[in-house]
Structure 1
């Protein structure tokens, strides 16, 4: 059950606002608040109730559990941050297995573009006063993957909504 296609617009735009806030916070602080991830998760539960729980909702649960398990493994290996894992799992709850796969693909593509942009920004000759204040410009600092998660979710949602409209 792809919840972005089934909920009222205000609920969908609330999700988008939370994702954008998460991306902005990650861009500035290299951190995603647990409150934002929890809000995305709770909003997903509300969306499921509003859309009308059906048997198809099991796919959303499986996608959530898989993303949390894989994300926890990647966190343990130092590949992803804990905030990224929690935000991604909370976002995946909004999608069935097919939609979650779409989300993974778009998030990975957005993450690749983001990484290239950040690497390019890091090699630019910034004044030390700027480089020292902006964490993402500092060598060996993390990549704010919350940006890629938000972009992937927005693109996947828009694609699914367009497909739902085209189907009738």
Structure 2
């Protein structure tokens, strides 16, 4: 049961956050709350000690501080900041966190570049007639960065202790 929770909850939450951000330009608060509650329940069940749990929380606090700064300057949305913070808690102070954040920056840059190209294209008003794509063509709206966070998290999650723990306890 624990292995199934580890393999399912994190990836599904990230996929849902990415999809809802793409469709609505919002990440529902229930996603980071579910990820945080899941971490609080699952971490002790995997044998995580207090010191290691503290390092996971420290990672979240550092990422939150950076995201808060970006949010206060209008560079990042609140949903993106909350999601990044909770994902950082799941990764903890690790090389996986660094790889995740690097991938977020790379995929976020590519996503931003792609959306700017779409918005600058003369066919943008035509593409914007399609419901989902309308958000992508409106220059007044931001970038659905939850997509980059979701992709980066899904790519890096198999390298984490949680995933390895889950796979080793499946049989």
User: TM-score under structure 2 normalisation?
Assistant: 0.82
Query: Could you list the runs of 5+ residues in structure 1 that have no partner in the other structure?
Result: 1-6
Aligned counterpart in structure 2 of residue 41 of structure 1, from 18, 36, 45 = 36
Give the equivalent residue in structure 1 for 2:24: 29
Give the equivalent residue in structure 1 for 2:73: 77
Give the equivalent residue in structure 1 for 2:105: 108
Give the equivalent residue in structure 1 for 2:148: 148
**Counterparts of 2:160 and 2:103, CA distance in 1:** 12
Give the equivalent residue in structure 2 for 1:3: none
**Counterparts of 1:124 and 1:159, CA distance in 2:** 38
Change (3 A) 1:102 1:9: farther
2:82 is the counterpart of 1:86: yes
Per-residue CA deviation, residues 45-101 of structure 1 (Å, 9 max, x unaligned), is 122122123122221011011111111111001110000000110111111212221
Give the equivalent residue in structure 2 for 1:64: 60
- Does the aligned pair in 1 maintain the 2:91–2:97 contact within 8 Å? yes
**Counterparts of 2:71 and 2:80, CA distance in 1:** 9
Change (3 A) 1:8 1:128: same
C-alpha deviation, 1:122, in angstroms: 1.8
**Counterparts of 2:101 and 2:124, CA distance in 1:** 36
Query: Could you list the runs of 5+ residues in structure 2 that have no partner in the other structure?
Result: none
More divergent stretch after superposition (124-133 vs 21-30): 124-133
**Counterparts of 1:33 and 1:40, CA distance in 2:** 12
Give the equivalent residue in structure 1 for 2:12: 17
**Counterparts of 2:121 and 2:46, CA distance in 1:** 48
Per-residue CA deviation, residues 106-154 of structure 1 (Å, 9 max, x unaligned), is 1111111111221222233436365265112112420000011111111
C-alpha deviation, 1:164, in angstroms: 5.5
- Does the aligned pair in 2 maintain the 1:34–1:83 contact within 8 Å? yes
- Does the aligned pair in 1 maintain the 2:22–2:147 contact within 8 Å? yes
- Does the aligned pair in 2 maintain the 1:30–1:136 contact within 8 Å? no
User: TM-score under structure 1 normalisation?
Assistant: 0.84
